Structure 1
């Protein structure tokens, strides 16, 4: 559920300072006395991406920690900033986090990740919990994503389309937004790595009222599988046209592109959709860690959508709490960054694949992609559903091609 967050520069800074106890000394030097300030920065409402639930998820995790006594007795002061998918706003959010002495920033989805990571790197503030899209998020020394985001999810889907679905004529619908273009490129790389062939594609406007021409183009190409790299609001406009033009085709996208409300709106047109993600479906039952995510969201942010994006940010917040608790002594930006740099293996709790933070990720050109695991599932009776136990594939062959 969208909520407007007015973040005029003076007002937001005043609020942040009032909450965090800003002083005139260096950012990040809060010391061991009062509350620990943690920020969220992402595209919570914009014309490109709107995922307020990522901020809500971090808020819920920290509220639960505070109710349990805080981090070694210190409460977490949570502040949130909407970057509005705008580079200038993202940079301003980063500066505000530093001025508020935030020890770390939890991310979600940002269409302005380059500007954001540049600001956080200058302030030496950890950035985690995000789903990386931009070059900055894939290269910045302060970026510690728990999942590969669009890169591993889409690259893995490309491998899966060829090796498991046995697609032979694959078509890509690519929304003309930088994040979507990057996701489409990863999917195409996966297809090419598995088949040696480049799939055909149609690039559509960022927003469109008519997807019939794109669907006709895919049908004319004899597509048996279609991958969608378009923004979430475009999905209910696009999918019916493709179901009519290609009734027998397998439709594929990332799970974040098909959240529960969109699945419900599409009805029968969503059935059988193949979804890829770095995480198991949020609708999965029987996983204690996932159950805790749902319980905290329900208790502390009950109106928020419990989406895959919310889960990523919640997991980032949860790991941050563990890092801060184990750090001991002063908890400030410098000590948190040092702790993350020394952090080794990270448990995925069956929700994401286990992985390890190392000096560099396994790919030389995207050194901050530490976790390249992905999983695939389907929409069954209106619910994203795993076929048995979660199985995580490795998207590295797609991304290193």
Structure 2
């Protein structure tokens, strides 16, 4: 028998014992109607201190939300207990995180990041634990029945970027990591370009953990014409690439237009590379959510100021932090909607999520839902419920809206022929 089978039999035996205790009057079933008011346990995982992309702010945001909710009286009177796990950008490590969540009785994994989609969705499916508001970096997050995405992931970001650049550039060059995840990038970017009858992007690969981008920057710069655009989607390494690109241009200011997606570029990257003098000035950025300057983020900012003041892991403009905030907002609303008599388990949370529709996130996303009617029918991504993006630009060193509101990529993504 495998380990998960053993755990299931152990859980079943424990459930029978608890039921017997109830019938004999010797105890109550934790989490049941009228039962124990023990904590509701969830987990958040993200990579920390790795050579590739790191997302420590997501763990810190989850912990801040825990303090915030519990100061408000918890969820229907029960405390929220947040477990965090470093998934290390590693398939074994993220599977271990899922095992820890199961052993701790977590009812969901919330607001998390991992590029090891096949590994963690398999583990969560085996234990029937819902995955709420993942970052959206893997295709598995939009295929697994235990996944409840809150954004359109990389497909919407890159398709949106391609559609934006099609109106700005005669030639587009994409610089991206040579990885399984990175292999998706040109597919979606080209889909956005194709929607405007634009030629596909030139695809330049670089190692996922590269530290020197001089050679690929020289390739990307080419003849350095203002009619050309260079889009870099390298996660934490994007600023290093743009710095290498800047040094190649006359007076350290290339003529090509620069572009990226949120997560690879955010306000902290612009600040650290010179603010208004940054090579990213006038760059075009595609995001999932409104810019961090939007008042819709005020509640999140106040929570960070009160419960994570001085925690340098958290940056309000980090889309990982923002995704975790939205994911926990969704989770809290759904659990509160279940009522104070409900048994809060992984199974009951899944059923509640499956029945949720038109859930407001205060304008940070379109209203969300995960009923069959909410699914968008995007090929290869059947769980996608939100394909809307925001267009942003860097102006005087600040990331601001390039146009108001959301831009819907649903029709562009539905037209793709990606396979499964």
Query: TM-score if structure 2 supplies the norm length?
Result: 0.83
Aligned residues of 2:173 and 2:231 also touching (Cα < 8 A): yes
- The residue number in structure 1 matching 2:363 is 350
Query: SS of 2:324's equivalent?
Result: helix
Q: For 2:323 and 2:94, locate their aligned partners in 1 and report how far apart those are by CA, in whole Å.
A: 20
Deviations 1:355-398 (A, max 9, x none): 4323243214201111000011112222211146x321112243
Deviations 1:274-323 (A, max 9, x none): 11111111232x33xx1000111121122122222101111100110111
Aligned residues of 2:235 and 2:263 also touching (Cα < 8 A): no
Query: TM-score if structure 1 supplies the norm length?
Result: 0.87
Aligned residues of 1:272 and 1:380 also touching (Cα < 8 A): yes
- The residue number in structure 2 matching 1:3 is none
- The residue number in structure 2 matching 1:18 is none
Q: For 2:368 and 2:345, locate their aligned partners in 1 and report how far apart those are by CA, in whole Å.
A: 25
- The residue number in structure 2 matching 1:311 is 322
- The residue number in structure 1 matching 2:8 is none
**Aligned residues between the structures:** 371
Alignment of 1:180-199 (within 5 A): 180-199=182-201
Structure 1: segments with no counterpart, 5+ residues: 1-21
- Stretches (4+) displaced over 6 A: none
Query: SS of 2:51's equivalent?
Result: coil
Alignment of 1:58-77 (within 5 A): 58-77=62-81
Aligned residues of 2:157 and 2:288 also touching (Cα < 8 A): yes
- The residue number in structure 2 matching 1:261 is 268
Q: 1:361 to 1:58 in 2, by over 3 A?
A: farther
Aligned residues of 1:132 and 1:149 also touching (Cα < 8 A): yes
Alignment of 1:1-80 (within 5 A): 25=14, 30-32=30-32, 33=36, 34-80=38-84
- The residue number in structure 2 matching 1:295 is 302
- The residue number in structure 1 matching 2:155 is 151
Q: For 1:396 and 1:71, locate their aligned partners in 2 and report how far apart those are by CA, in whole Å.
A: 34
Q: For 2:184 and 2:192, locate their aligned partners in 1 and report how far apart those are by CA, in whole Å.
A: 13
Aligned residues of 1:30 and 1:331 also touching (Cα < 8 A): no
Deviations 1:108-160 (A, max 9, x none): 32121221111111111111121112232121001001001221111111111
Alignment of 1:172-251 (within 5 A): 172-220=174-222, 224-232=228-236, 234-243=237-246, 244-245=248-249, 247-251=254-258
Aligned residues of 1:87 and 1:112 also touching (Cα < 8 A): yes
Q: For 1:194 and 1:317, locate their aligned partners in 2 and report how far apart those are by CA, in whole Å.
A: 37
Aligned residues of 2:221 and 2:230 also touching (Cα < 8 A): no
Q: For 1:226 and 1:321, locate their aligned partners in 2 and report how far apart those are by CA, in whole Å.
A: 40
Structure 2: segments with no counterpart, 5+ residues: 1-10, 16-28
Q: For 2:255 and 2:353, locate their aligned partners in 1 and report how far apart those are by CA, in whole Å.
A: 48
Cα displacement (A) at 1:23: 11
Q: Which has the higher contact order (CA 8 A, sep 6+)?
A: 1
Aligned residues of 1:155 and 1:187 also touching (Cα < 8 A): yes
Q: For 2:411 and 2:162, locate their aligned partners in 1 and report how far apart those are by CA, in whole Å.
A: 10
Cα displacement (A) at 1:202: 1.1
Cα displacement (A) at 1:63: 1.4
Query: SS of 2:89's equivalent?
Result: coil
Q: Give me the CA root mean square deviation.
A: 2.1
